């Protein structure tokens, strides 16, 4: 490998990933072969990360002066006690700053795939699930996420993309677990002639609206190659600390 960062399954140092094939076998995307296609985010992430670290990633984090230690694809972090799936990081990276403090980085990879459903759609899905599964905790999970990240529930949140809430919750929970005071969420977008402009622009808008609400209007727009923060969330849980510096950024890679 060109750099010294260890690619491995589930942050297990000895379980190396040293080829594209090993990446797929050990850490396949949720949709397996359906998602493992050239030009789509899962495989492009593997292609751009398995042997080296993309320059746009290094550039956006240059001010932190980090040493990158471990990188695990498709790593899952639990962020509450309500059951269900945890946060599936497309990449989770553990790093150290120049004074040897842990820094946790979560990458969400996109081409033009959406940030999943809205909060209102997730709530309706939770209500439907409750009819079939009375013990479901999907609705309490959504409520808890909104209260911990925004301080309280309000109607302005209903159009926000639920995946972005779980992404922030996941990186903050993993930072607490790793005893890190710094959590960084990055959206990595692969750009090609195959990208559907309408979907790409929708993702851009969805991210801007989310950032505006999360920062309480301090930031209304997320520019490429710029980190915003540090942000502090208003509340905490057993899994998520409100004393962690959160940074959010995005960058693009042409393929």
| pLDDT tens digits along 112-131 | 999 999 999 999 999 999 99
Span 45-78, pLDDT tens digits? 999 999 999 999 999 999 999 999 999 999 999 9
Residue 1 is predicted with a pLDDT of: 47
Question: Token digits for 41?
Answer: 């985010």
Span 191-238, pLDDT tens digits? 998 899 999 999 999 999 999 999 999 999 999 999 999 999 999 999
In the block, tokens 């999943």 appear at 116
Residue 123 is predicted with a pLDDT of: 97
Give Cβ neighbours of residue 252 (< 8 Å, ≥ 6 apart): 56, 188, 189, 190, 191, 224
Q: How far apart are CA 104 and CA 82, in angstroms?
A: 23
List helix spans (H) across 79-160. Answer: 119-132, 138-150
Residue 216 is predicted with a pLDDT of: 95
Q: How far apart are CA 44 and CA 35, in angstroms?
A: 10
Q: Crossing angle, helix 119-132 and helix 138-150, to 10 degrees? A: 150
Question: Token digits for 56?
Answer: 């746009």
Q: In degrees to the nearest 10, what's the CA dihedral of 90, 200, 210, 225? A: 70
Residue 63 is predicted with a pLDDT of: 95
Q: How far apart are CA 78 and CA 182, in angstroms?
A: 18
Going along 65-142, which residue ranges are E strands?
A: 67-77, 87-96, 102-110
Question: Token digits for 207?
Answer: 């991210």
Span 156-195, pLDDT tens digits? 999 999 999 999 999 999 999 999 999 999 999 999 988 9
Whether this model's pTM surpasses 0.85? yes
Span 69-110, pLDDT tens digits? 999 999 999 999 998 889 999 999 999 999 999 999 999 999
41 pLDDT above the threshold of 80 = yes
Do residues 247 and 167 make contact, with C-beta atoms less than 8 angstroms apart?
no
């Amino acid at each position: 490998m060109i750099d010294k960062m260890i690619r491995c399954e589930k942050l297990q140092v000895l379980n190396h990933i040293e080829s594209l094939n090993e990446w797929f076998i050990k850490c396949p995307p949720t949709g397996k072969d359906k998602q493992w296609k050239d030009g789509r985010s899962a495989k492009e992430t593997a292609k751009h990360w398995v042997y080296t670290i993309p320059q746009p990633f290094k550039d956006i984090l240059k001010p932190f002066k980090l040493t990158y230690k471990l990188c695990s694809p498709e790593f899952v972090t639990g962020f509450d006690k309500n059951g269900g799936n945890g946060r599936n990081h497309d990449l989770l990276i553990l790093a150290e700053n120049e004074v040897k403090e842990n820094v946790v980085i979560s990458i969400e990879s996109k081409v033009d795939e959406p940030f999943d459903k809205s909060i209102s759609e997730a709530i309706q899905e939770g209500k439907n699930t409750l009819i079939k599964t009375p013990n479901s905790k999907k609705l309490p999970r959504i409520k808890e996420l909104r209260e911990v990240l925004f301080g309280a529930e309000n109607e302005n949140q209903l159009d926000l993309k639920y995946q972005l809430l779980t992404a922030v919750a996941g990186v903050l929970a993993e930072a607490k677990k790793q005893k890190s005071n710094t959590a960084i969420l990055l959206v990595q977008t692969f750009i090609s002639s195959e990208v559907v402009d309408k979907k790409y622009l929708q993702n851009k808008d969805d991210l801007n609206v989310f950032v505006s609400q999360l920062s309480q209007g301090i930031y209304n727009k997320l520019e490429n190659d710029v980190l915003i923060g540090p942000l502090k969330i208003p509340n905490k849980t057993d899994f998520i600390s409100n004393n962690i510096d959160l940074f959010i950024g995005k960058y693009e890679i042409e393929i």
